[in-house]
Structure 1
């Protein structure tokens, strides 16, 4: 049975989308009011869970005004087609680079099937197309009307994905970070409103650096942009709220830099070549003590590994490093 939505205050409710049957791994958020808005859909296989949660909050088929996704990865936007059909009056909002893939998901789905193979259907399901006439796009900046003078301000924040948006609620200062700040894993005793444990512990943060779009420089610029927005709270799609904004953004940058440095060292060990198994082993070895609290919770570590595997993150970093090498080589050649 799906968990009940958590009331985070100011008409904001967090919905556990129960990805792959797990709790506490992927969140959607609904902002109630005169123009209810859903932020993130979860996977296609989660669409029914989200529909039921919205119904429990009094949001009927004709009530939802907007569906917004931070980016088009299938754990965030896989349910768009199903939910657009279930809520026929809702506009769908996405960063403009990703809009065509919601209208025609065939290339996105083919790519995902190559990556995930037989596990694809169980993990994500099928992203159904959305009528292009219902899709609104955000470029570098844009806004979503939440009614009664309240808005979501959207900001293009690439680095994790070229089609990524950060979203700020003008009424609360909440910042929906998507995956631009990586994954946040609350401590066991975290409260629903702060994300902190009873002792004030913040929990664990992990980088999300998958191919093909990861770019360290862009990712760090996006984190700096988040900081400049001066949010009051971060709402992670993976997973939940945290009030320690500056600490969390600082740690997100630190984790990215650390993993990049380890993968770079792994390439050096192999004479500049990339060996995935060697790089993954180095990351695990050099972060074992750092992530000891998480590794002491093997069931939690396992579900987040399924969502965002070490191998996928290492592959994304390796691809970026290879592209950086090419750029430097071309620049030196031109010089």
Structure 2
């Protein structure tokens, strides 16, 4: 299936499909300011040519990109950062203070991700992940700002999905680049009711209480747009989408606590999450049959179950 061309979806905000795994799974964004541009999210190393093509299509020279921002260092968000930085001679990499060191020395990040996916699948998904020179990496504490020439992006600490997660506030469009802090919303599930938002509880640092606080902090800015990595822009009715996300998270936690202990727990929990998903899709009027839905969300169901198991084993505190 061909990927859609990069397109401007809000003033100065370009959405491009990274091509990671399948179309419309992982988005990257380009934000244009008065003097420079920023790339937000990089997906995997295989996505870097797509990013460079999008920059060229919008007449942004590599030397005019001043910043690359990753919301967190899970490799579907930051795996291409090293390769992309090699192609952008003036760019600074901006990351959460807890995650930045793993882009300078990605060895632990690689090992942890390979443990989740398996070595063969890891290599297939992510390939080569070169380190980024420490002098080109900036740790972004809460409130850190990037000025693109009159357009300021503000980084907010956003734990819940991961301790090394930040979100990027763009006051110009009253939007947030949310990474995984506002769940998943795949365009295949859109219906007459609008988008469907589903939780993501990827291993290994799920903190439901912190995630709720992160969502509430974003809502306090009265945003009009959410730019999700998985996938694309949500516009209007953001409080409704937030409520749907948090209700879905509560159901995830209930199903996790009800899962049987022992070696069959993962399969049982994944099946329970699939049931939650299918019920939600049906109530939403999403144009997806069972098999198509399970294909679209299959990897997420596996990862969500794994993350919930880690959470249970750590005490299961909400």
CA distance in 2, matches of 1:302, 1:187: 11
In the alignment, structure 1 residue 323 sits paired with structure 2 residue 314: yes
Q: 2:232 aligns with which of 217, 240, 244?
A: 240
Write the distance in 2 (CA, Å) between the matches of 1:156 and 1:229: 14
Counterparts of 2:182 and 2:135, CA distance in 1: 31
Q: Gaps (5+ residues) in structure 1?
A: 191-196, 329-335
Corresponding residue for residue 210 of structure 2: 218
Helix, strand or coil at the partner of 1:30: strand
Question: Equivalent residue for 1:69?
Answer: 70
Which residue, out of 259, 273, 284, partners 2:274? 284
Equivalent position of 2:265 in the other structure: 275
**Aligned residue in 2 for 1:264:** 257
SS state at 1:133 partner: helix
Displacement of 1:251 in angstroms is 1.1
Give the C-alpha shift of residue 12 in structure 1. Answer: 0.9
Q: Is the 8 A contact 1:19 1:26 kept in 2?
A: yes
Deviation at 1:248, TM superposition (A): 1.1
Question: How do 1:284-323 residues align onto structure 2 when only pairs under 5 Å count?
Answer: 284-292=274-282, 293=286, 295-296=288-289, 298-299=291-292, 301-306=294-299, 308=300, 310-323=301-314
Q: Is the 8 A contact 1:2 1:49 kept in 2?
A: no
Question: In the TM superposition, what is the alpha-carbon distance from 1:274 to its structure 2 partner?
Answer: 7.2
Q: Structure 1 residues 31 and 153 mapped into 2: Cα distance closer, same or farther (>3 Å)?
A: same
Aligned residues of 1:266 and 1:278 also touching (Cα < 8 A):
yes
In structure 1, what is the equivalent of residue 194 of structure 2?
Answer: 202
**Runs of 4 or more above 4 Å deviation:** 297-301
Q: Which residue pairs with 1:255 in the alignment?
A: 248
Matched, 1:104 2:109: no
How far apart are the structure 2 equivalents of 1:222 and 1:274? 33
Query: Does structure 2 retain, via aligned residues, the 8 Å contact 1:28–1:41?
Result: yes
Distance 1:286 1:26, change over 3 A: closer
Compute the displacement of 1:27 (Å).
Answer: 0.5
Task: Judge conservation of contact 1:182–1:205 (CA < 8 Å) in 2.
Answer: yes
Structure 2 unaligned blocks of 5 or more: none
Once the two structures are TM-superposed, the CA of residue 127 in structure 1 deviates from its matched residue by 2.1
Contact residue 177 and residue 235 of structure 1 kept, 8 A? yes
Residue in 2 that maps onto 1:140: 142
Q: Are residues 26 and 300 of structure 1, via their aligned partners in 2, closer, same or farther at CA, if it must alter by over 3 Å? A: farther
C-alpha separation in 2, matches of 1:304 and 1:88: 37
Q: Distance between the aligned counterparts of 1:304 and 1:58, measured in 2?
A: 35
Report the TM-score, using the length of structure 2 for normalisation. 0.91
Kindly name which structure, 1 or 2, has the bigger radius of gyration based on alpha carbons.
1
Q: Distance in 1 between matches of 2:166 and 2:157?
A: 5
Equivalent residues in 2 for 1:156-167, closer than 5 Å:
156-167=157-168
Give the secondary structure class of the aligned counterpart of 2:65.
Answer: coil
* Equivalent in the alignment of 1:24: 24
Q: Give me the CA root mean square deviation.
A: 2.1
- Are the structure 2 counterparts of residues 204 and 240 from structure 1 closer, same or farther at C-alpha, using a change threshold of 3 Å? same
Distance 1:235 1:13 in 2: 10
The Cα of 1:86 is off from its aligned counterpart by 0.1
SS in structure 2 of the partner of residue 161 of structure 1? coil
SS at match of 2:315: helix
- 3-state SS in 1 of match to 2:256: helix
Q: How does 1:105-124 map to 2 (within 5 A)?
A: 105-117=106-118, 118-124=120-126
Q: Shift in Å at residue 136 of structure 1?
A: 1.0
Inter-partner Cα distance in structure 2 for 1:79 and 1:232: 29
Question: 5 Å matches for 1:8-47?
Answer: 8-20=9-21, 22-33=22-33, 34-47=35-48
CA–CA distance in 2 between the matches of 1:94 and 1:257?
A: 29
How far 1:304 sits from its partner (Å)? Answer: 3.6
